[in-house]
């Protein structure tokens, strides 16, 4: 396991804060209130562990089939439905949405290989990530990848009530690779995929999925 680059400054800040709290805790409480001392010590340690685990990147590898759509995020499948996608395609698509809790790995990865033909950041609201309007009203980043057969997949990173920063790395017009780093959403949110209607879907609502490992489906 490694630590994602987006977490280095935050983890260092968390270490400093925890160190200050523990120093003050030792000075003022160690000799006069052991119950409170141990309580604050435990909370400080839990805070530091939670921050570190949020930015963890497990080592994962897999050989992908050419038409496989690989999962872009850790979390739980909360939506699988045919819907109208109105930002880029302006037609009907299969939407697959993955909700990421604060305990999930929050790095995001490309579901297919190809060319990044569209990328746009949208400022917006911070509705809870499972809200039906979060896909169109929340702060979000939209990306579209076209594979070498001309099939296109839209990936949308969505900020939630807790998440306050979306990071994304690709440049429009660049080549991207399936399973490679797409970006990061800090502190809980959601990723939507909009797939062609003839795509095969291998997951169902309620499934717990893992980025880079779970097969969402395949392109025909």
Q: Which residues are catalytically annotated?
A: 189
Q: What are the DSSP calls for the chain, one per residue?
A: -EE-GGGHHHHHHHHHHHHHHHHHHHHHHTTT-HHHHHHHHHHHHHHHHHHHHHTEE-----PPPTTEEE--SSEEEEEEEEEEETTTT-EEEEEEEEEE-TTS--EEE-SS-EEEEEEEEE--B---TTSTTHHHHBSEEEEEEE-TTS-EEEEEEEE-SS--EEEE---TT-EE-TTSEEEEEESSEEEEEEE-TT-EE---TT-EE-TTTSEEEE--
The Cα 76–Cα 84 span in angstroms is: 22
Whether the CB-CB separation of 82 and 197 falls below 8 Å is answered with yes
In this structure, the chain runs to a length of 220
């Amino acid at each position: 396991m490694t630590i994602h680059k987006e977490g280095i400054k935050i983890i260092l800040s968390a270490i400093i804060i925890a160190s200050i709290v523990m120093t003050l805790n030792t000075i003022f409480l160690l000799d006069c209130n052991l119950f409170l001392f141990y309580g604050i010590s435990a909370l400080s340690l839990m805070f530091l562990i939670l921050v570190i685990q949020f930015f963890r990147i497990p080592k994962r590898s897999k050989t992908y089939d050419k038409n496989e759509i690989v999962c872009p995020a850790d979390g739980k499948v909360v939506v699988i439905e045919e819907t109208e996608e109105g930002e880029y395609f302006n037609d009907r698509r299969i939407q697959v949405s993955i909700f990421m809790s604060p305990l999930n790995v929050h790095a995001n990865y490309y579901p297919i290989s190809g060319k990044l033909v569209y990328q746009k950041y949208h400022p917006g609201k911070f509705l809870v990530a499972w809200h039906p309007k979060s896909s169109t009203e929340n702060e979000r980043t939209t990306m579209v990848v076209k594979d070498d057969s001309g099939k296109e997949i839209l990936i949308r990173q969505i900020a939630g009530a807790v998440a306050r920063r979306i990071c994304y790395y690709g440049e429009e017009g660049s080549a991207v690779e399936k399973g490679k780093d797409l970006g990061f959403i800090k502190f809980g949110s959601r990723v939507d995929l909009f797939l062609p209607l003839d795509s095969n879907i291998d997951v169902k609502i309620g499934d717990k999925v893992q980025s880079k490992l779970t097969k969402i489906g395949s392109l025909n």
